[in-house]
Structure 1
Amino acid sequence: MAKSAASSTPLAQKLRGLTGEAVKFGIVGLGGVVVNFVVFWVCINGLHLATLRSNIAATLIAIATNYLGYRYWLYRDRDAASRKREITLFLVFSGIGMLIETGLLGFSVYVLGLDSHLEQVAAKVVGLGLGTVFRFISYRTWVFKALPETPGTGAAAAATGGELAAQAELMLAAEEIRYAKAE
């Protein structure tokens, strides 16, 4: 019984970490949603732009503000060794999220004929929700990658300490063989 409690501890820690991450993601995202809707509303009502143009402009501005929140607050402890790669992936996945949102908005306006401001906002909310789920999964998986755990820290290190030493010995042996073949 003690063994099962010890083995569930890392899972419980991961779930707690994921919950905290999801809450912070939601806070940054909520800020982006506010920016997105304010810009969308100004573009539609103040500038009288077309619906999809307004949505694209609003989403692009929200993407920029969200990147700052994700990089410098939520994922500040993540690997930032390759900012060019990170920004490229962020823009690609944000663009896909924008296509999800804009596609649903365009479908509702131009196919279903739901073109009142309230109906447009409702379609935008649904599209934004679907895009947000996609972004959360893609950002945490591919864009803001976690730094690998260093030996001697955390519960994972205690469980894999022997495995780590064995892997290091295998790597050293492979290097010795490679150098011997080179000579």
Structure 2
Amino acid sequence: MAVVGSVLARLPAPLRAILVKHRELLKFALVGGTTFVVDNAIWYLLKLTILTSKPTTAKAIAIIIATIVSYVLNREWSFRTRGGRERAHEAALFFLVSGVAVVINLIPLLMSRYVFDLEVPHVSRFVQEAADFASGSIIGMLLAMAFRFWGFRRWVFPDELGRTRRDAPTDDAAASGAHR
């Protein structure tokens, strides 16, 4: 039995039914949590070392790396039964949607730093870092995540193209069998 199936088998039936019904969103959220860690680890590593005077550049680099990780995880797990386009076309659409999401993600950080002047010397270092985290890693990422989920389902991995991929065995088959 797959990992997802074994976890679902241990849950109460009503909760299991909700999770199975919304499994695509749940998988997308788990991928998002993983890329959140990747994004922030890289952002803070760059921001606190070699890009101290360029926090938005550091954030953009971190988002791009996290987006590559996201493509692999979403294609092979979250939206496994969707899509069906040629891989190069699918990847181009993925990175186009993700490129728009990068801009959406950076807007709150840019506003925090350069519109509201929430940076040293106008505020303390603590306030600057708290504002950066809130605007870049919370607000920006949530806005970008909502856009990505919508864009991925709509254009990158549309359900109507997923018939051919549904024939492949998935961990979802084990998950749906877990509640019998």
Same fold? TM cut 0.5: yes
Residues 43, 72 of structure 1: alpha-carbon distance in 2 compared, 3 angstrom cutoff: same
User: 1:136 corresponds to which letter in structure 2?
Assistant: F
* Partner residue in 1 for 2:123: none
Is the 8 Å Cα contact of residues 28 and 149 (structure 2) preserved in structure 1?
Answer: yes
Q: Secondary structure of the residue that 1:114 maps to in structure 2?
A: coil
User: 2:143 corresponds to which letter in structure 1?
Assistant: L
Q: Secondary structure of the residue that 1:78 maps to in structure 2?
A: coil
Q: 1:148, 1:129 → 2: CA distance?
A: 27
Q: 2:48, 2:62 → 1: CA distance?
A: 13
* Partner residue in 2 for 1:96: 100
* Partner residue in 1 for 2:9: none
Higher RCO (CA < 8 A, seq sep 6+): 2
Residues 72, 149 of structure 1: alpha-carbon distance in 2 compared, 3 angstrom cutoff: closer
CA deviations 1:98-141 (Å, max 9, x no partner) are 10111111011100011211210110110110010000000011
* Pairwise CA distance, 1:66: 0.4
User: 1:117 corresponds to which letter in structure 2?
Assistant: E
Q: Which moved more, 1:76-85 or 1:136-145?
A: 76-85
* Pairwise CA distance, 1:78: 2.1
* Pairwise CA distance, 1:97: 0.7
More helix by share: 1
Is the 8 Å Cα contact of residues 101 and 145 (structure 2) preserved in structure 1?
Answer: yes
Note the aligned Cα RMSD (angstroms): 1.8
- Which consecutive unaligned segments of at least 5 residues does structure 2 have? 1-17, 120-127, 165-180
Match 2:131 to one of 112, 119, 134: 119
**TM-score (normalizing by structure 2):** 0.70
CA deviations 1:74-109 (Å, max 9, x no partner) are 122223331121111111110111101111110111
* Pairwise CA distance, 1:19: 1.5
* Pairwise CA distance, 1:56: 0.4
User: 2:49 corresponds to which letter in structure 1?
Assistant: G
Is residue 32 of structure 1 aligned with residue 45 of structure 2? no
- Which consecutive unaligned segments of at least 5 residues does structure 1 have? 1-14, 151-183
